[in-house]
C-alpha cells in the first residue's frame, strides 16, 4: 500500500477543449480533479486560456505530458522542460506525469513508440528522468504504456518498468487500461502484472476505453466506454494498493459531459467501497 500523500484525491477527468466551455459554465461536482496535457496550453491566449485559468484557480489539476520523449535517442529539449516548469508553477499544478516511451528522433513522430526492454535503456531513461526532475524541482511519474511490439527485448515489461522507476527514483502513473490491453496483445496475466508493480510509487491512476481490433488485438484509443474487465482490474488495484486517485481519459468519440461524469461516478463508487472496507478492517483490528 502507498502510505505517501497523494497530490490529489478521489476521481478525476481528463479535460478536453471540446467540453471546456461546458465545464467553465457548470463544473460537475462529481469530478474531484482534472488533468491536461501542458503542450496543448503553453503559450495559449484568448478565451480558452481565461477559461483554463478560472478552472485551475478553483480546482486541483495534474498534467500528463505528450512530448517529453523520455526514451528518445536524441538529447532532451531542455527549453521545453523549462517551459513545462513555468506552466506547472504558474497554474499550481499538483503533479506532472509522462509516458514511459518516446515520440521523437530529429523531429516529432506524433506517436508513442516502445523503448527496448534492456539494461542500457534502463540507464538511459533513468538518467534523463533525473535530469528532468532536477530542472522541474519536483518528482515526476511515468505511465506504463500500451505497446504493440518489443524490439530488442532482453527483459520482461514488468521488470523493465520496475527497473526504470527504481533507478530513476521516480513515481508511477498506473494506467489500468494499458495493463489489460498489453495482457491481451502479449499474452500475460494482468493480475500478476498488477501485483508486481511498486504500489508505494503510485501517484495516481488512469482508466479508459479501447478498441477491439481482433480477438487477440486491442488498440488503446481512449475512444470508448470502459469495459467490465478493466473496471474489475481497477477494483483489484485498490484491493492491492489501497484507494489511489484515478482519472477517466477520453480522447475520441467524446460524449456529452454528463455521460463522462457517469463513468467518473463509477470510479468514485468503487473507491468508496474499498474505503469503507478499509475503515471496517481498521476498526476490527
Going by C-alpha positions, the residue among 146, 126, 117 that lies closest to residue 230 is: 146
- Please provide the DSSP assignment of 131-181 as one string: HHHHHHTS--EEEPPP-S--TT--S-HHHHHHHHHHHHT-EEEEEHHHHHH
> Mean pLDDT over residues 148-153, rounded?
82
Domain range list for the chain: 11-284
Look at 1 and 93; give whichever has higher pLDDT. Answer: 93
Across the range 222-233, mean pLDDT stands at 94
Cα radius of gyration (the chain): 18
Cα separation, 176 vs 220, in Å, equals 11
For 11-284, CATH gives 3.20.20.150
Reported as half-sphere exposure (CB side, CA atoms, 13 A), residue 5 has a value of 4
Q: Tell me: the pLDDT tens digits for 71-120?
A: 888 889 999 999 999 999 999 999 999 999 876 555 555 556 778 899 99
State the average pLDDT over residues 65-69: 88
Q: Quote the CA–CA distance of 177 and 210 in Å, as a whole number.
A: 8
Residues 6+ positions from 183 with CB-CB distance below 8 Å: 189, 190, 193
Amino acid at each position: 500500500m502507498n502510505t505517501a500523500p497523494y497530490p490529489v484525491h478521489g476521481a478525476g477527468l481528463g479535460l478536453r477543449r471540446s467540453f471546456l466551455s461546458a465545464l467553465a459554465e457548470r463544473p460537475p461536482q462529481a469530478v474531484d480533479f482534472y488533468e491536461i496535457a501542458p503542450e496543448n496550453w503553453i503559450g495559449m491566449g484568448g478565451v480558452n486560456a481565461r477559461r483554463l485559468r478560472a478552472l485551475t484557480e478553483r480546482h486541483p489539476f495534474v498534467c500528463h505530458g505528450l512530448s517529453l520523449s523520455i526514451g528518445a535517442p536524441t538529447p532532451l529539449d531542455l527549453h521545453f522542460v523549462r517551459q513545462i516548469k513555468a506552466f506547472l508553477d504558474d497554474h499550481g499544478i499538483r503533479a506532472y506525469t509522462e509516458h514511459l516511451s518516446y515520440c521523437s528522433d530529429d523531429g516529432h513522430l506524433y506517436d508513442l513508440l516502445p523503448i527496448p526492454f534492456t539494461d542500457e535503456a534502463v540507464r538511459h531513461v533513468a538518467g534523463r528522468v533525473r535530469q528532468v526532475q532536477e530542472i522541474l524541482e519536483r518528482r515526476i511519474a511515468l505511465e506504463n504504456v500500451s505497446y504493440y511490439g518489443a524490439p530488442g527485448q532482453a527483459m520482461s515489461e514488468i521488470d523493465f518498468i520496475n527497473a526504470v522507476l527504481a533507478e530513476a527514483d521516480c513515481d508511477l502513473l498506473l494506467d489500468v487500461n494499458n495493463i489489460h490491453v498489453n495482457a491481451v496483445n502479449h499474452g500475460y496475466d494482468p493480475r500478476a502484472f498488477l501485483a508486481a508493480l511498486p504500489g508505494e510509487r503510485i501517484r495516481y491512476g488512469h482508466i479508459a476505453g479501447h478498441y477491439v481490433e481482433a480477438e487477440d488485438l486491442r488498440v488503446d484509443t481512449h475512444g470508448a466506454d470502459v469495459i467490465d474487465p478493466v473496471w474489475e482490474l481497477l477494483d483489484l488495484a485498490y484491493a492491492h494498493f489501497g484507494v489511489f486517485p484515478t482519472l477517466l481519459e477520453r480522447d475520441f468519440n467524446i460524449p456529452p459531459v454528463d455521460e463522462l461524469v457517469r463513468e467518473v461516478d463509477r470510479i468514485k463508487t468503487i473507491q468508496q467501497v474499498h474505503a469503507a472496507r478499509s475503515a471496517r478492517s481498521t476498526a476490527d483490528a
